Structure formats: C-alpha cells, structure tokens
Amino acid sequence: MPKIDLANVEAIRRLVYPEPFYSETEGYQGQRVGNAAGLTQFGVNRAVLPPGGRTALRHWHEAEDEFVIVMSGEVVLRDDDGETLLRAGDCAGFRAGEANGHAIENRSDEPAVLFEIGSRSADETVHYPDVDLRLERRNNARNWVRKDGTPYD
C-alpha cells in the first residue's frame, strides 16, 4: 500500500447535525484517510481539533465499534464515568451497543491531532443522551430524529 499523501486528501468539516445542534462541532477538520487508502470494512479519519473544538456531541453506537488514538496535543474524553485526560499516544475504545455516551473535546490552547477508527455499518442507530437527538441510518441513508422518533425538518 503506498503512502497516503495528506496534502491530497480533502479536508472536511463535521457539521452534520440538524439545527439547533449544527454548530456543535465547529472547527473540526477531518480527512478520510481510510477512504484514500481504499478501505471498505472500516473507516479511519485523521482529525484536527482546534482549541475549544470537539469531535461530536456525546453519543454511542448500537452497531459500530469506535477507537481513537491521540497523535499530538491534549484532549478530554467525556463519558458516563466523567472526564479523562488523553495525551499523545493515549487511546480509547468504545464497543458497539455499550450505552456509554462519549465525546472528545480540546480544552487546551493548542490544536490536537487524533485518528478516529470505526466499523462501517450500513444500518446503524446513534444515540445522543444529552440532547433530543438520534441518528437512524438505513442502507447508508441518514435520518435525524428526536428521541420520540419524530423527524427534524
């Protein structure tokens, strides 16, 4: 497998949520390096979090495993157990189906770089315990709904 030239991998912003949550991941810059390598069974994103940035709203997946590796900087992992400081070289993993909402935040004054690795399930439900939001993905089509199942416009 040839080396991936990061300069040739599109930088994406993670502004995926419906209103009123749209700006919650402002500043996140990701690169889908797994796609650049042609991977099909799991995804790998290289993420840069600016000071004050975060990866996502606190969430958990029914069907997908997630794994994070901090490459540089310092971030805080927030989950049901509280807050854990992660520094370069630290890792965290989240098993599918484990209802422990998690998010990673950069509370430092410097950018942080991390890799997000996850399985790719065409059908998935993602829960957001702190807000009235749920993602229903079926055949890779995304549907944002409230906890009671009513859709966001």
Give the pTM: 0.91
> Predicted confidence band at 1 (pLDDT cuts at 50, 70, 90)?
low
* CATH code reported for the domain at 6-122: 2.60.120.10
Q: Over the stretch 56-90, which tens digit does the pLDDT of each residue have?
A: 999 999 999 999 999 999 999 999 999 999 999 99
User: CA 41 → CA 65, 89, 121, 122, 131, distances in Å?
Assistant: 12, 24, 9, 11, 30
Amino acid in the structure at residue 93: G
**Of all residues in the chain, what percent are helix, strand and coil, respectively (each to 5)?**
5, 45, 45
Question: How far is Cα 111 from Cα 105, in angstroms, rounded to an integer?
Answer: 11
Q: Over the stretch 9-31, which tens digit does the pLDDT of each residue have?
A: 999 988 789 999 989 999 999 99
Question: Across the chain, how many H-helices and E-strands are there?
Answer: 1, 13
Question: How far is Cα 122 from Cα 57, in angstroms, rounded to an integer?
Answer: 21
Domain ranges for the chain, please list them. 6-122
∠31-52-115 over CA atoms, to 5°?
A: 30
